[in-house]
């Protein structure tokens, strides 16, 4: 990953966490640990990406720290945001009969990673062969330069919709749905046919003999927002093309299920990235 892209992505993924509480990002701090194999020019590239992200998200870089490292590069970014108390959205507010909604489309970042890893292996086998990245701009951008959905907070405000719970999709849709269900003590039904997947993402997935839906469920790093709404807000959400209703919340005793295209219910499991907790 180019260092400029890495700087941009490091800001985006933290800004996304602020958006996931229905808040507006305002400031960031940057902590860096750097080994002596990184030149001044390399760090300038990293900070160029950080600066570009700050400009795009209208946030201020207000501090941080830099120290030495014996193990390459370590980046720690803290994002700070604000929201009216009544608008703050947690993971724990979903209730039975609420609807599950996602922004944008899913699976693109994972497929971008697959293309990059494939071309890296080709390059390692023969450094004279140039990477074949033509036609993959969208999914590569989803991986290398993800966009935190700050616009979604504005859309929800304009629509007058207050989500009952919210989280960003960093570890895959399945993982995030289960996080909401666990925190809210509820169950869910997620419908395969409703999951929004870009045509390019689906085409590349099939080229890799992968199921596009499984890429969306378990791929991660899309940084879209997943949230629940009261049924009274259905018409408002459906009026905005940025949102897709993908399922609904059930009683906790009913379990967490993925409904495939044939209508069969399968227990929803997170097979993507698992954090220490």
Q: Which pLDDT score, from 0 to 100, does residue 71 have?
A: 85
Domain(s) of CATH 3.90.650.10: residues in the chain = 99-267
**pLDDT class for 275, splitting at 50, 70, 90?**
low
63's tokens: 């501090």
Q: Which pLDDT score, from 0 to 100, does residue 132 have?
A: 81
In this predicted structure, the answer to whether residue 262 has a pLDDT above a threshold of 60 is yes
- Report the predicted TM-score, pTM, of the whole model to 2 decimal places: 0.94
- 14 touches 150 (CB < 8 A): no
Domain(s) of CATH 3.30.1330.10: residues in the chain = 3-87
Q: Provide mean pLDDT across the span 162-178.
A: 97
- Tell me which CATH homologous superfamily contains domain 99-267: PurM-like C-terminal domain (3.90.650.10)
CATH class of the domain defined by 3-87: alpha beta
Name the residue with higher pLDDT: 215 or 270: 215
- 41 touches 98 (CB < 8 A): no
Q: Which pLDDT score, from 0 to 100, does residue 276 have?
A: 47
CA-to-CA distance for 226 and 216, rounded, in angstroms?
13
In this predicted structure, the answer to whether residue 134 has a pLDDT above a threshold of 70 is yes
Q: Which pLDDT score, from 0 to 100, does residue 266 have?
A: 95
Q: Provide mean pLDDT across the span 77-88.
A: 96
CA-to-CA distance for 184 and 91, rounded, in angstroms?
7
């Amino acid at each position: 990953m180019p260092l400029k892209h890495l700087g941009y992505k490091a800001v985006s993924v933290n800004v996304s966490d602020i958006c996931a509480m229905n808040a507006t990002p305002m400031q960031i701090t940057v902590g860096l640990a750097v080994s002596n194999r990184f030149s001044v020019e390399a760090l300038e590239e990293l900070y160029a990406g950080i600066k570009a992200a700050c400009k795009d998200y209208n946030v201020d870089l207000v501090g941080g720290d830099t120290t030495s490292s014996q193990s390459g590069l370590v980046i720690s970014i803290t994002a700070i945001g604000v929201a009216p108390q009544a608008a703050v959205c947690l993971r724990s507010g979903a209730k039975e009969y609420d609807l599950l909604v996602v922004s944008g489309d899913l699976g693109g970042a994972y497929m971008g990673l697959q293309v990059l890893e494939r071309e890296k292996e080709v390059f390692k086998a023969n450094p004279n062969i140039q990477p074949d990245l033509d036609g993959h701009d969208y999914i590569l951008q989803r991986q290398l330069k993800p966009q935190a959905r700050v616009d979604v907070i504005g859309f929800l405000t304009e629509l007058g919709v207050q989500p009952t719970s919210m989280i960003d999709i960093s570890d895959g849709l399945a993982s995030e749905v289960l996080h909401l269900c666990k925190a809210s003590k509820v169950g869910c039904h997620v419908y395969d046919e409703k999951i929004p997947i870009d045509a390019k993402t689906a085409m590349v997935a099939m080229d890799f003999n992968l199921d596009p839906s499984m890429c969306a469920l378990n791929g991660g790093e899309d940084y879209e927002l997943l949230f629940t709404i009261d049924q009274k807000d259905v018409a408002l959400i459906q009026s905005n093309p940025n949102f897709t209703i993908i399922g609904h919340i059930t009683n906790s005793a009913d379990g967490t299920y993925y409904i495939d295209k044939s209508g069969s219910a399968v227990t929803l499991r997170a097979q993507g990235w698992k954090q220490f907790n």
